[in-house]
Amino acid sequence: MKHVSKLLVAIFAAAAVSASAAPKQWLDYKGNKGPGKGKKVVLISGDEEYRSEEAMPVLAGILSRHHGFDCRVVFAIDPKSGIVDPNNRNNIPGLEALSNADLMVIGTRFRDLPDEQMAHIDTYLKTGRPVIGMRTATHAFNIGGDKKYAHYSNGYGGPKKEWQGGFGKVVL
């Protein structure tokens, strides 16, 4: 009985710790065997219209299970609650995974991310590695004003002539 009591205390303590832990902000899928073994795909969700927060994990599951790719899915996250919130246009944590990605799949719509998050996307694109844009990615960003990455915005018409039209027109 003494051992059972200790076991129950340990179980409840572990449950309390895991219940109070912050929610996971991205999903990682380890690749099985297949032609993608050893390659990494980062899938970026973030739209309030077409449920990319549901579609991207499904696609990552297919890519990892059937084709061998290691995948990370990142989401629009409410910074206060830590919960996936497709309506939050200003926060997609986990983009640093792009630093060693072999492919970026993007399905965002009108995001206005902070410079430190946009820097990961910008750095990735400058490497020349491939990008696949899903559905709303032609208008993936809406970054206003004098921000560093405003040229990524849909319909950009500012002084950076090489970026006329924004991310969707120039990159995709």
Q: How many folded domains does the chain comprise?
A: 1
Residue 41 is assigned to a structural domain of this protein: yes
Average pLDDT, the chain: 90
pLDDT, average across residues 86-104: 98
3 within a domain of the structure (yes/no): no
pLDDT at 8 over 90: no
In a domain, 166, yes or no: yes
Q: 3-state SS of the chain?
A: CHHHHHHHHHHHHHHHHHHHCCCCCEEEECCCCCCCCCCEEEEEEECCCCCHHHHHHHHHHHHHHHHCCEEEEECCECCCCCCECCCCCCCCCCHHHHHHCCEEEEEECCECCCHHHHHHHHHHHHCCCCEEECHHHHHCECCCCCCCCHHHCCCCCCCCHHHCCCHHHHCC
* CATH code at position 91: 3.40.50
Q: What is the pLDDT of residues 24-50, one digit of tens each?
A: 899 999 999 999 999 999 999 999 999
Separation CA 72–CA 150 (nearest Å): 26
Residue 82 and residue 94: Cα distance in Å, rounded? 13
pLDDT at 62: 98
Q: Is residue 9 part of a domain?
A: no
Task: Reply yes or no on whether the pLDDT at 59 is more than 90.
Answer: yes
Domain annotation covers residue 93: yes
For 63-79, what is each residue's pLDDT tens digit? Answer: 999 999 999 999 999 99
Q: Which of 117, 126, 124 is nearest to 101 (CA)?
A: 124
**pLDDT at residue 145, as a whole number:** 83
Phi, psi for residue 163 in degrees, rounded to 5: -110, 15
pLDDT digit string, tens, across residues 129-155:
999 999 889 999 999 888 999 999 999
Kindly state whether residue 16 falls inside one of the protein's structural domains. no
Rounded CA gap, 168 and 38, in Å? 29
pLDDT at 29: 98
Domain annotation covers residue 65:
yes
Please give the pLDDT value at position 21. 64
Domain around 132: 24-170
Q: Residue 7 domain-assigned?
A: no
**At residue 22, does pLDDT exceed 70?**
no
